Amino acid sequence: MITLAFTLNGAPATVEIDPADRLLDVLRERLGLTGTKEGCGEGECGACTVWLDGLPVNSCLVPAYQVRGARVHTVESLDPAALEPLLVHGATQCGACTPGVAMTACWIVGHPEILASHSLRELLAGNLCRCTGYDGIVAGVQAALDAGARA
Amino acid sequence: MTVHQPGTLREALDLIAGKPEAVPVAGATDLLVHWPARVAEHDRDYVDLSRIAELKAIAFRNGELMLGALATYWDVIHAGRMKEGFPLLVAAARQVGAVQIQARGTWAGNIVNASPAADGVPVLMAYDAVVVLASRAGQEEVPLDRFYTGYKQTRRRPDQLVVAIRIPWRAHDVAVFEKVGGRRAQAIAKVGLAIAHSAAGWRVVAASVAPTVRRCTAIERLLTDGTPVRGPDDLHPAIERDVTPIDDLRSTAAYRKTVMARLLYDDLRGVCPAFS
Amino acid sequence: MHRREGLAKLTGRERYVDDLPLDDFLWGATVRSPASRGRVTAVRFGRGIDWSQFVVVDSQDLPGPNEILLIERDQPVLAAGYVRHVHEPVLLLAHRDRVALRRAVAAVTIEVAPEPAALDFRVPPRPEQIQYGADNVLKHLRIEKGDVERALATAPVVVEGVYETGAQEHVYLEPQGMIAHMDGDVLVVRGSMQCPYYVVKALTHALNRDEQHVRVVQTPTGGGFGGKEEYPSTIALHAALLALKSGRPVKLVYDRTEDMAATTKRHPARVRHRTGVTRDGKLVAQDIEVVMDGGAYVTLSPVVLSRGIIHAAGPYACEHVRIDGRAMFTNAVPFGAFRGFGAPQTHFAGERHMDVVAHRLGIDPAELRRRNLLRDGERTATGQVVNDGTDRVAVLERALALADYDKKRAANKAGGTTRRGIGIATFHHGAGFTGSGEVMLSSRVDVAGLPDGRIEVLSANIEMGQGTITVFTALAAARLGLTPDDVVVAEADTARVPNSGPTVASRTSMVVGRLVERACDDLRRRVNTGGRGKGEGLKRAIMDWHRAHPGGRLVGSATYERPPGIAWDDHTYTGDAYGAFAWAAYIAEVEVDLRTYTTRVTDFVAVQEIGKVLHETFARGQVQGGVAQGIGWALLEDCKWQDGAMANAQLTNYLIPTTEDLPPIRVAFLENPYPHGAQGAKGLGELPIDGPAPAVLNAVADALGVEPTTIPLTPERLMEIAERGARNAEQRRQ
Ligand SMILES: Cc1cc2nc3c(=O)[nH]c(=O)nc-3n(C[C@H](O)[C@H](O)[C@H](O)COP(=O)(O)OP(=O)(O)OC[C@H]3O[C@@H](n4cnc5c(N)ncnc54)[C@H](O)[C@@H]3O)c2cc1C
Ligand code: FES
Ligand code: FES
């Protein structure tokens, strides 16, 4: 076991980990933060998306030992009010993809300048959803962006 | 499982000099796929490169671009001057996985992983990139087009790390990246192509059609010689010499060859007078 | 009203089976057959592992019959010395450490003396491959109307075609999983599932327990699409066996690879059409032969086949119809329920074939459909008189207008290295169980009045994203004049909720929703408000009742009753197959890259008549999700088989659509309330998967002037077809 200290959702965190743990395992099993989901364990589905030093990454592909000293944000850190547009536009159905979608969505909303070079659909391509056909997600993120632009 | 987390390159090189069986870890987007099921790999030693600040640099200097071994796709997409100077890198990076992979995956990892279907390798190769390898014994530079010796085989010795990728800064009048994947985003290439032309001549690099990403020297010669090409079919003899596609889970040999010929023809028709 | 549990899902608070806190438990795992068929000659436990630390369960450990109770009892819970498909469960292991468990699974070797496997359902089995009945036919069904042979013999034009569809993996984003533990002498199983009472039945049967000693609780379910209809019974049994043997809670959660490799998929199918038409395009005879791959056990194949053949003739009027259907035994991993339940396969064939017929006759595909769509008073293939007042041609016209069909069709194709095309599918989907199914289910819903005046809806129908909780809340609130916050929807816990039937067959809103309404009415009767009390008055009455009956339970309830005038004959396969059909017209526009033969769907219009839209956002979401899944099935989703095993059981190699693979999906609804559905609703969940594949392929046919017949239409396949066509044309010219 090794000791891992990092910043989790804005607060310092220390946890004993096995060197073979993925960040996903540490969050879910060792810290009980089960909001982050495992949909595939192969980097394809994005259900495990968290922000690592401000960028969305698949926590199933992050060796836990690499986050020492880093900033990690999980779905548990999101402001429910900010998620309202996603709720309203039908961005969630079964909800299994949803925490990952919410992480990518809020990251986009927090960095609207990225849309100068990237389309919403390109930025969301790493979050597979089998329920919505994506229209509800795209509409929800767009609405959140519009709300952000007005604010 | 033991993980070593050296803070400097020197430490890292010392470590793997003593433990050549240790596996370097960069963004882990290849190493950690299906990790829980790969129990046998949990018994190995790993050298985490992520703490080594020296490997993170991206620098333009002395007429070249230097990518440190930890440079990610996302770093390159957003680095200044990249789009103007090295548009193929940006084009390929945007087609690697999705944002979550781009944020973590490194160019050096792509090179060492040695997948024949890699997207980063073909554009680097088309730019005449040179792989900078270091060990305790010293540095060595291997041109990327000579780095691979066979399927998943490279010239890297186990005691060496890739520390940087050097790319000469040239003016290109042709620079095309093509990726045909199983779907429009986050897919592994069934056929990949990078085509570039500069004062150094033609570079045509193909992915997913041979055991390694490779330069297509017969095609390059045909372009250099200005051999007339009247349709995709005229490219087939050269393609036969350059690549050896196979049937696998993702596509067929016949499809790969045909698509390669058509993309080459279509991309070169506008820019190469010999193509009519 | 927004999704009731939506914010919990968006914030990650919703707890799925793998998220539940659990103390002092063991992880479970399954050891599977490496071979397609044969006798198990040895099970070897590798060296270097202390096996005494593992709980090991095999078929000998079953307290009851080694059978997974479903339509038949042919499928063992654990193979007993003989395997019939790759990945068939043979052994179960449990251990407190998951990594140790994974190593142990890898260290078990199951040796099988191989026997000849039947792996292609399309070719008749050789004698040594026969393992079911005399001919490996799991089920044979037939629908006959009129005299097909005579009609075909005299038809001015006869058009034939053979169409094939591949297996499809559900890819619900939450893999399957169960937790089992003992609570006193009650076995409790929690997990991701669509049908809690199916699981109860399977557990009581194979574990030899009565219903009082089995409790099944559905956990929030991260997608099902049919994949969590029958398979969860298997995992529940496995988890339960390990829990019974170890005396500890056991958690058995599949990873993606195991889920894809070992669980059910959509039945592959081959459908042959022989169609007689007049020169002006009136259908006179449809001779249809449907063959489906059932896999190694019967599972739900008979009912999938049934729905498949009932929909095979399409929403068209035709006097003479014969539909012959067979589900074949093969040594494939058993195929099972998947959204649409056989209808997508037969609709694909039928709708693709309609365009082939149109091309042959030189009639526009839209016009051919206009001429043949059922008018009120006409009969379907099973003889059901359609008389619901829906103008099916108007559904089509609406789609054509939205898609700007006439202009696009005239203008398309053209343009450098791409070709554009547009394609239609008109289709229907019967809601609820087929034939007498709903009567046999005899579903019940309870609505309880709580001491604080709120009410609680108790049903076994589950939320898996389609909106059950919200819709039931809205229905009950509307019926009783309450606010949504006055309504609680109970967790689907079989210790508390009555059996309202499975959450399948697009029945939840229409059939069960109607029961919710009726149970609400019954509750009002019971609190004796004289039939008038609603809203606050009703709440007060409920509270008064509880004051008068301390500790009592105030429950209104409703049991399914067959709507009047419905009759079905299971022997002749004639009559009213469904209480109601939903009707639809979908139009896809595609662009094909002639260099790579990749097909991109550039526009999609989905118009449907579904009785009544209960929730606009949900209904649209169901359609968009179904269309996405249908487009995936049509173009991308390709199960690769190697010796009966799925070779691409990873999301890297089995590709489902991403955001970039889909256009915005434009949805429109027409409403014609169905008197026996909740607020007039008909089923919607499955309909949208029926139309996309044929619409997309018809668009490709339009773009390239070829007739593709097989999905998924991968670029490799399309290149082959298009260039073969070109080569043939070349030869004809010479
Ligand atoms: C979902 C998903 C999608 C993907 N999509 C694409 C795609 O579209 N195109 C594509 O090309 N790839 C793709 N990949 C593969 C992968 O992301 C890339 O190959 C990436 O560049 C690997 O970099 P890494 O830093 O993550 O490598 P790691 O996983 O850290 O390492 C890969 C290999 O390189 C070795 N290594 C890494 N750095 C060094 C070094 N400095 N010196 C010596 N050895 C080193 C490691 O030991 C290992 O063998 C995808 C992966 C996933 C999971
Ligand atoms: S679980 Fe990490 S990407 Fe799917
Ligand atoms: S909401 Fe179910 S997978 Fe996205």
List pLDDT tens digits, range B176-196.
Answer: 999 999 999 999 999 999 999
With an 8 Å Cβ cutoff, are C170 and A40 in contact?
no
Distance between Cα B34 and ligand 2 center (Å):
10
With an 8 Å Cβ cutoff, are C7 and A80 in contact?
yes
Residue C568 lies in a domain: no
With an 8 Å Cβ cutoff, are B185 and A125 in contact?
yes
With an 8 Å Cβ cutoff, are B262 and C595 in contact?
yes
CA–CA dist C363, C383 (Å, integer): 28
A49 within ligand 3 shell (Cβ under 6 A): no
- C423-437: buried (b, 16+ CB within 10 Å) or exposed (e) per residue? bbbbbbbbbbbbbbb
A131 within ligand 3 shell (Cβ under 6 A): yes
The backbone torsions φ and ψ at residue C553, rounded to the nearest 5 degrees and listed phi first, read -110, 125
Distance between Cα A40 and ligand 2 center (Å):
5
Predicted confidence (pLDDT) per residue in C347-367, tens digit: 999 999 999 999 999 999 999
Count of CA atoms in the C-beta half-sphere (13 A) of C283: 32
Cα first-last separation, chain B: 59
Mutation to probe ligand 3, out of C16, C173, C339 (largest number of atoms < 8 A from CB) = C173
Counting from 1 in the atom list of ligand 3, the atom nearest the Cα of A95 is 1
Same domain flag for C579 and C545: no
What ipTM goes with this model?
Answer: 0.98
Same domain flag for C234 and C258: yes
User: Which residues of chain A lie closer than 8 angstroms to B56, CB-CB?
Assistant: none
User: Which residues of chain B lie closer than 8 angstroms to C600, CB-CB?
Assistant: 184
User: Which residues of chain A lie closer than 8 angstroms to B32, CB-CB?
Assistant: 22, 43, 60-63
Residue C398 lies in a domain: yes
More confident position, C63 or C435: C63
**Which domains are seen in chain A, by residue range?**
2-75 (3.10.20.30), 80-150 (1.10.150.120)
Same domain flag for C634 and C660: yes
> Are the beta carbons of C412 and C420 closer than 8 angstroms?
yes
Q: Which of C262, C285, C318 is the last residue of a domain?
A: C262
C733: pLDDT strictly greater than 60: no
The backbone torsions φ and ψ at residue C532, rounded to the nearest 5 degrees and listed phi first, read -100, -30
Which residue, by CA, sits nearest to atom 3 of ligand 3? A129
Same domain flag for C546 and C582: no
Same domain flag for C383 and C486: no
Q: E strands, C130-176, where? A: 137-145, 157-165
**Which domains are seen in chain B, by residue range?**
172-268 (3.30.390.50)
Of B27, B36, B74, the CB nearest to A41: B36
Same domain flag for C256 and C362: no
C734: pLDDT strictly greater than 60: no
Residue C306 lies in a domain: yes
Region C386-406 average pLDDT: 97
With an 8 Å Cβ cutoff, are C636 and B182 in contact?
yes
User: Which residues of chain C lie closer than 8 angstroms to A96, CB-CB?
Assistant: 16, 172-174, 222-223
- The size of the B-C interface in CB pairs under 8 A is 60
Same domain flag for C227 and C333: no
Quote the mean pLDDT of chain C. 96
Region B109-127 average pLDDT: 98
Cβ contacts of A79 within 8 Å, gap of 6 or more: none
Distance between Cα C44 and ligand 2 center (Å):
34
Region A84-105 average pLDDT: 98
User: Which residues of chain C lie closer than 8 angstroms to A91, CB-CB?
Assistant: 10
Residue C360 lies in a domain: yes
Same domain flag for C283 and C258: no
Q: How confident is the model at residue C46 (pLDDT cuts 50, 70, 90)?
A: very high
Residue C137 lies in a domain: no
Distance between Cα C1 and ligand 3 center (Å):
20
Predicted confidence (pLDDT) per residue in C608-618, tens digit: 999 999 999 99
With an 8 Å Cβ cutoff, are A94 and C255 in contact?
no
Same domain flag for C174 and C26: yes
Residue C134 lies in a domain: no
pLDDT of residue C727: 67
A127–chain C nearest CA distance, Å:
7
Which residue, by CA, sits nearest to atom 19 of ligand 1? B110
Same domain flag for C325 and C416: yes
Distance between Cα C465 and ligand 3 center (Å):
7
Cis peptide before B232 (omega within 30 of 0): no
Residue C153 lies in a domain: no
Q: Which of C505, C526, C559 is the last residue of a domain?
A: C559
With an 8 Å Cβ cutoff, are A46 and B50 in contact?
no
Range of the domain at C543: 443-559
Q: Which of C430, C439, C441, C436 is nearest to C574 (CA)?
A: C436
Among B99, B106, B184, B186, the strongest candidate for a mutation testing the A interface, having the largest count of A CBs within 10 A, is B99
User: Which residues of chain A lie closer than 8 angstroms to C634, CB-CB?
Assistant: none
CA–CA dist C338, C689 (Å, integer): 10
Distance between Cα C690 and ligand 3 center (Å):
20
pLDDT of residue C118: 98
Q: How far is CA B133 from the centre of its chain?
A: 15
Q: How confident is the model at residue C730 (pLDDT cuts 50, 70, 90)?
A: low
In total, chain C counts a number of residues equal to: 734
Interface membership of B185 toward C (CB under 8 Å):
yes
Same domain flag for C228 and C299: no
Cβ contacts of C421 within 8 Å, gap of 6 or more: C412, C413, C589, C590, C592, C698, C699, C700, C701, C702, C703, C704
Same domain flag for C396 and C454: no
> Are the beta carbons of B138 and B200 closer than 8 angstroms?
no
Q: E strands, C615-716, where? A: 641-642, 645-646, 665-670, 710-711
| Strand B23-25 versus strand B45-48 pairing type | parallel
Predicted confidence (pLDDT) per residue in A5-62, tens digit: 999 999 999 999 999 999 999 999 999 999 999 999 999 999 999 999 999 999 999 9
- A10-35: buried (b, 16+ CB within 10 Å) or exposed (e) per residue? eeebebebbbbbbbbbbbbeeeebbb
pLDDT of residue C720: 95
C413: pLDDT strictly greater than 90: no
C667: pLDDT strictly greater than 90: yes
- HEC profile for B99-145? HHHHCCCEHHHHHHHCCCCCCHHHHHHHCCCEEEEEECCEEEEEEHH
- Give the number of whichever ligand sits closest to the CA of residue C255: 2
B274–chain A nearest CA distance, Å:
35
CATH number at residue C516: 3.30.365.10
Chains with ≥3 CB–CB distances under 8 Å to B: A, C
Q: Which of C396, C646, C387, C676 is nearest to C558 (CA)?
A: C676
Among A2, A44, A48, A58, the strongest candidate for a mutation testing the B interface, having the largest count of B CBs within 10 A, is A58
Predicted confidence (pLDDT) per residue in B10-49, tens digit: 999 999 999 999 999 999 999 999 999 999 999 999 999 9
Task: Quote the tokens at residue C140.
Answer: 């044979």
Of C7, C223, C660, the CB nearest to A94: C223
Distance between Cα B163 and ligand 1 center (Å):
15
Residue C136 lies in a domain: no
Counting from 1 in the atom list of ligand 1, the atom nearest the Cα of A126 is 1
In total, chain B counts a number of residues equal to: 276
Mutation to probe ligand 1, out of B101, B115, B144, B153 (largest number of atoms < 8 A from CB) = B101
Predicted confidence (pLDDT) per residue in B202-258, tens digit: 999 999 999 999 999 999 999 999 999 999 999 999 999 999 999 999 999 999 999
Q: How confident is the model at residue C530 (pLDDT cuts 50, 70, 90)?
A: low
Task: Quote the tokens at residue C505.
Answer: 């067959």
What is the residue type of C630? G
Region C72-91 average pLDDT: 98
Predicted confidence (pLDDT) per residue in C186-195, tens digit: 999 999 999 9
Of B182, B183, B255, the CB nearest to C719: B255
Measured CA distances, B40 to B47, C100, C106, C290, C532 (Å) = 17, 11, 10, 46, 70
For chain C, what is the domain count? Answer: 3
Interface membership of A65 toward B (CB under 8 Å):
yes
Q: Which of C559, C587, C608 is the last residue of a domain?
A: C559
Of B34, B50, B74, the CB nearest to A66: B50
| Strand C455-458 versus strand C444-449 pairing type | antiparallel
Among B35, B99, B258, the strongest candidate for a mutation testing the C interface, having the largest count of C CBs within 10 A, is B258
Q: How confident is the model at residue A148 (pLDDT cuts 50, 70, 90)?
A: confident
C565: pLDDT strictly greater than 90: no
